[in-house]
């Protein structure tokens, strides 16, 4: 058990969604404890640096890492890896990842530091706080403190007591929306697999790598993140080709398909079919047409 709080970096990825980023930065400024470093991976968006300079807490050192877009879309796995590498090179011992559309709870950084400080040496744990989903707002309008307080956590994830930690055996519950990990564990697990091009699959692959390293997923009380509302598509047809490609990559490595609900929905719509001696998902003619739509 360490006697001093670990040097902590908060990391986020951004492409567009400048208002969401502003709210994340305002939430960070209102936190009970500030991170020692803020790293923002700007994915094919040179305007991100200006947003960060304007709204980041003045007492927190900032590093904006430019990441080029991939031919299949936003390079989420690569951007997380670049941000982590930059933070670790700057001396970060604890990495706190938060998606750009999330507002950090007041104690989010504080609680992750407390839990990491008290962790058993050599343990490979990943910590997640509860994620609360917020209601729609008029563009540019800010959420109030009462709205954050009255929001409810995602029903499909455990919720730990305010100052507690709850471990789970099901690492498939891991999501990269909001989590913390020590630099040592990050390097042992190996970060995110950049072979997952575009959208989907890299989160569950990371969880399986964590399981292979005998790591645990733990839920941290008192470290909520508040997910700002934005329109979503379910199933996400605009990511159809990515999801098929990445689910096949995952199955080739781990022997089962992730994103089962989305794959089943695409199959029901006649967009994909499962075929081959080693079963893999393939786009149908209708699926190819759907994947070509802007």
- Tell me the angle at which helices 18-29 and 48-55 cross, rounded to the nearest 10 degrees: 30
Q: Which helix (H) or strand (E) segment is 132 a member of? A: strand 125-133
Question: CA 137, CA 133: separation in Å to the nearest integer?
Answer: 12
Give dist(CA 166, CA 223) in Å, integer: 13
How far is it between the farthest Cα atoms of the chain?
61
Asked if residues 88 and 188 have their Cβ atoms less than 8 Å apart, the reply is no
In angstroms, rounded to a whole number, what is the distance separating the alpha carbons of residues 63 and 53?
10
Least Cα distance to 104 among 138, 60, 69, 73 occurs for: 60
Non-local (6+) Cβ contacts of 252 within 8 A are none
Per residue of the chain (294 residues), give pLDDT as tens. Answer: 446 889 999 999 999 999 999 999 999 999 999 999 999 999 999 999 999 999 999 999 999 999 998 776 788 999 999 999 999 999 999 999 999 999 999 999 999 999 999 998 888 999 999 999 998 876 667 888 888 888 888 888 888 998 999 999 889 899 899 999 999 999 999 999 999 988 899 999 999 999 999 999 999 999 999 999 877 778 899 899 999 999 999 999 999 999 999 999 999 999 999 999 999 999 999 999 998 776
Which superfamily does CATH assign the domain made up of 8-227 to? Spore Coat Polysaccharide Biosynthesis Protein SpsA; Chain A (3.90.550.10)
Domain boundaries along the sequence of the chain: 8-227, 237-292
């Amino acid at each position: 058990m360490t006697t001093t709080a670990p040097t902590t970096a908060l990391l986020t990825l951004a492409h567009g969604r400048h208002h969401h980023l502003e709210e994340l930065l305002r939430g960070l400024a209102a936190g009970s404890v500030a991170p020692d470093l803020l790293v923002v991976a700007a994915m094919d968006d040179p305007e991100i640096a200006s947003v960060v300079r304007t709204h980041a807490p003045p007492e927190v050192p900032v590093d904006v890492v430019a990441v080029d877009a991939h031919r299949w879309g936003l390079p989420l796995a690569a951007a997380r890896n670049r941000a982590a590498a930059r933070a670790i090179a700057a001396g970060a011992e604890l990495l706190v990842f938060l998606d750009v559309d999330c507002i950090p709870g007041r104690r989010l950084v504080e609680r992750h530091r407390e839990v990491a400080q008290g962790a058993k040496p050599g343990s490979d744990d990943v910590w997640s706080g509860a994620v609360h989903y917020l209601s729609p707002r008029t563009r540019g309008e800010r959420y109030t403190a009462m709205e954050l307080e009255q929001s409810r956590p995602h029903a499909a994830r455990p919720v730990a007591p305010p100052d507690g930690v709850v471990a789970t055996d099901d690492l498939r519950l891991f999501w990269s929306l909001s989590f913390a990990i020590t630099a040592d564990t990050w390097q042992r697990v190996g970060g995110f697999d950049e072979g997952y091009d575009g959208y989907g699959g890299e989160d569950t692959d990371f969880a399986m790598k964590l399981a292979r390293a005998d790591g645990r997923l733990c839920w941290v009380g008192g470290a909520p993140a508040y997910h700002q509302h934005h329109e979503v598509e379910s199933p996400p047809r605009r990511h159809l080709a990515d999801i098929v490609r990445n689910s096949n990559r995952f199955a080739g490595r781990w022997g089962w398909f992730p994103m089962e609900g989305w794959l089943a929905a695409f199959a029901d719509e006649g967009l994909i079919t499962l075929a081959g001696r080693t079963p893999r998902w393939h786009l149908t003619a209708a699926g190819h047409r759907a994947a070509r739509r802007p």
